[in-house]
Amino acid sequence: MEKPFYIFSNGRIRRKDNTVFFEYGDSNDESQEEKESKPANRRAVPVETIDSIYLFGEVDLNNKVINFLGQNHIPIHFFNYYGYYTGTFYPREYAVSGHILVKQVSHYVDPGLRFAIAQEIIQSSNHNILKNLKYYERRYGDLSGFISHIENKNREMGSSRSIEELMGFEGQIHKRYFEAWNKILKSETFLFDKRTRMPPDNPINALISFGNSMVYATALSEIYKTQLNPAISYLHQPSTKRFSLSLDLAEIFKPLLVDRLIFSMINHNQIRENHFESNLEFCYLNEKGRRTFTEQFDEKLKTTVKHPSLKRNVSYRQLIKLECYKLVKHILGEEEFKGFRMWW
Amino acid sequence: MTLDQQLKHTGTLVNYYFVCKRKLWLFAHQINFETESDTVALGRLLSEISYDRQKKEIKIDEMISIDWIDFRNKVIHEVKKSDKLEEAHLWQVKYYLYFLESKGVQGFRAEINYPKFHKRELIELIDSDREYLKEVIKEIEEILPRDEIPEKVRIPACRSCSYFEFCWV
């Protein structure tokens, strides 16, 4: 079974024969002397078991190991000191189909075809947002106003004709959704005023930013396994800076993978003030915070649910890949794309 | 368009023709999920590690890939994981013989080897097979250039197929 590896410690990744070695130094807070006095911990990992690698620590890699990981189709996601997504080593495409690429592009170029996919993405995302609110409405109450407001906006959105209009509705819905968070979060310390990015200015924004970049990287790993080209997207404008198809897919899964996680981690006191590094104008998760969040995020991805049409258990991570398959079938003209909507 | 000009690995195509027309079409359009499949990986590994004294994977014209050839006894060998002599396996191998004949290589027979079961199956090409294969190739050539993907059909093979999730999601 392949799985992602998250590396927080400082150290090195090596190739020895046909195996990958993670050599851990120690965590960031130790002094240089402490590091040198201890022997490195070594861990051998069979390359077949690695799905992808997430690098948070200060890690050395040489071209030998990068070539080896590339041959084995393993993407490496890099994050900077603040846990900000830097980029991905996206190995040479191995699942390429000229036929799919042509169809994928033609669904982008035709405004009608593009809009249909974009709208379905937003509607699936809204459905999942409402699922979250309804879940907490049953538990804590006091959310029905937000729910009906968003339901109305969702209906109004049905008459949009352009992606700009869709994005407008999406903005309004998210604004309302975020306002509801203060009713969901049972915490004295963490309050959510408004969404800020670059840089996030409070702990909740820091969690959202970090969580979203994790979903983005995970979606990218899943797209890599399919014939879809990650740069051609429908809701988001294909851009040179990002693999924007990943952003499209992330939109659908953020409510399930990130938002729900934030609610439960804060309400269960798993994330605390000391997990953040903050200053007047910014706020970041520190190493401990990132570890804790990532652990729970990984658990989330491994959660399984019985799929109604496959009649098999699939993990949340697999759901992302299934989303890619549905897109492929859509652009091939076989079955209309129906985005993932939480059914439980 | 003929298979000769358009496609590599026609042995696989002949095999898939007998398993599932949809799989045939998808594979030919480079839509496959076999790198993701444990079953496929296992089959490949088995083929690599068994009979390791033989020279392996002989590609002919980039069209077919024969596991190994015993030139002295004029036998081509194909390694399979499951010992069910499936129609698809049978015709894949018969196609190899047919292909070799078309290149002027006569008098060969084939053997399917099942290393896990220490079993083998001998296969010969007869006249009626040649006629039938001609038909099969014609049909494959007719299916591939179609724009629509052939409809999915639920068959027992779906259960362990690497396309299962793609088809049925």
User: How far is the C-alpha of A52 from the C-alpha of A37, rounded, in Å?
Assistant: 31
The residues pairing with B65 across neighbouring beta strands, listed in sequence order, are B59
Residue A48 above 70 pLDDT? yes
Dihedrals phi, psi of A37, to nearest 5 degrees: -75, -20
Pair A323, A338: CB distance under 8 Å: no
Residue B46 above 80 pLDDT? no
Q: Please state the rounded mean pLDDT for residues B31-59.
A: 72
Among the listed ranges A22-36, A123-137, A142-156, B93-107, which one has the minimum average pLDDT value?
A: A22-36
Confidence category of residue B60, pLDDT binned at 50, 70, 90:
confident
Extract the tokens encoding A62: 């040489």
The residues pairing with A16 across neighbouring beta strands, listed in sequence order, are A19
Closest CA relative to residue A285, chosen from A214, A193, A179, A187: A214
Q: Which of A127-131, B31-35, B71-75 has the highest mean pLDDT?
A: A127-131
- First-to-last CA distance in chain A? 26
List of residues 6+ apart from B72 with CB closer than 8 A: none
Residue A36 above 80 pLDDT? no
pLDDT in tens, B97-122: 998 888 888 889 999 988 888 888 89
Residue contact B36–A225, C-beta within 8 A: yes
Q: Please name the helix (run of DSSP H) or strand (run of DSSP E) that holds residue B102, with its range, or none.
A: helix B87-102
pLDDT value of position A211:
96
Residue contact B165–A321, C-beta within 8 A: yes
Closest CA relative to residue A325, chosen from B45, B33, B110: B33
Q: Which of A125-129, A192-196, B91-95 has the highest mean pLDDT?
A: A125-129
Of A99, A318, A329, the CB nearest to B29: A99
Extract the tokens encoding A201: 């200015």
Q: Is A73 left (phi over 0), alpha (psi -120 to 50) or beta?
A: left
Extract the tokens encoding B91: 């015709």
**A321: closest CA of chain B, how far (Å):** 9
| A321/B60: higher pLDDT | A321
List of residues 6+ apart from A175 with CB closer than 8 A: none
pLDDT value of position A113:
97
Extract the tokens encoding A216: 């983005």
User: How far is the C-alpha of B30 from the C-alpha of A82, rounded, in Å?
Assistant: 40
pLDDT value of position B85:
62
**B125: closest CA of chain A, how far (Å):** 35
Pair A76, A53: CB distance under 8 Å: yes
Q: Please state the rounded mean pLDDT for residues B36-58.
A: 70
| A266/B63: higher pLDDT | A266
C-alpha distances (whole Å) from B53 to each of A68, B56, B71, B74, B113 are 27, 9, 15, 17, 15
Confidence category of residue B5, pLDDT binned at 50, 70, 90:
very low
DSSP, collapsed to helix, strand or coil, labels residue A310 as coil
- CB–CB contacts below 8 A, A to B: 47
pLDDT value of position A175:
92
Residues in chain B closer than 8 A to A73 (CB atoms): 35
User: Which chain A residue has the Cα nearest residue B163?
Assistant: A325
* DSSP string for A27-87: -TTS-HHHHHHSPPEEEEEEGGGEEEEEE-S-EEE-HHHHHHHHHTT--EEEE-TTS-EEE
Q: Please state the rounded mean pLDDT for residues A98-102.
A: 92
C-alpha distances (whole Å) from A244 to each of A33, A97, A123 are 43, 19, 18
| B135/B32: higher pLDDT | B135
pLDDT in tens, A171-228: 999 999 999 998 999 887 777 777 777 777 788 889 999 999 999 999 999 999 999 9
User: Which chain B residue has the Cα nearest residue A51?
Assistant: B36
Residue contact B29–A322, C-beta within 8 A: no
Q: Please state the rounded mean pLDDT for residues A147-154.
A: 94
Residue contact B166–A334, C-beta within 8 A: no
Percentage of chain A modeled with pLDDT above 90: 71
User: How far is the C-alpha of A311 from the C-alpha of A290, rounded, in Å?
Assistant: 35
Residue A240 above 90 pLDDT? no
User: Which chain B residue has the Cα nearest residue A1?
Assistant: B38
Residue A61 above 60 pLDDT? yes
Query: How confident is the prediction for chain B on average, in pLDDT?
Result: 84
Residue A235 above 90 pLDDT? yes
Percentage of chain A modeled with pLDDT above 70: 94
Residue A33 above 70 pLDDT? no
User: How far is the C-alpha of B116 from the C-alpha of B107, rounded, in Å?
Assistant: 29
Residues in chain B closer than 8 A to A326 (CB atoms): 169
Among the listed ranges A253-257, A315-319, B51-55, B95-99, which one has the minimum average pLDDT value?
A: B51-55
C-alpha distances (whole Å) from A342 to each of A130, A213, A254, A255, A307 are 10, 21, 12, 10, 11
Residue B1 above 50 pLDDT? no
Q: Please state the rounded mean pLDDT for residues B146-165.
A: 92
A328 touches chain B (CB under 8 A): yes
Closest CA relative to residue B88, chosen from B153, B23, B169: B23
* DSSP string for A217-273: HHHHHHHHTSS--TT--SSSPP-SSS-HHHHHHHHHHHIIIIIHHHHHHHHTT-S-G
Q: Please state the rounded mean pLDDT for residues B120-148.
A: 91
Residue B65 above 70 pLDDT? yes
A3 touches chain B (CB under 8 A): no
Find the radius of gyration of the CA atoms of chain B: 16
Q: Which of B44, B161, B165, B167 to mutate to test the interface with A (most CBs of A within 10 A)?
A: B165
A227 touches chain B (CB under 8 A): yes
* DSSP string for A242-256: S-HHHHHHHHHHHII
C-alpha distances (whole Å) from A225 to each of A50, A164, B23, B32, B40 are 13, 31, 18, 10, 15
User: Which chain A residue has the Cα nearest residue B38?
Assistant: A1
DSSP, collapsed to helix, strand or coil, labels residue B57 as coil
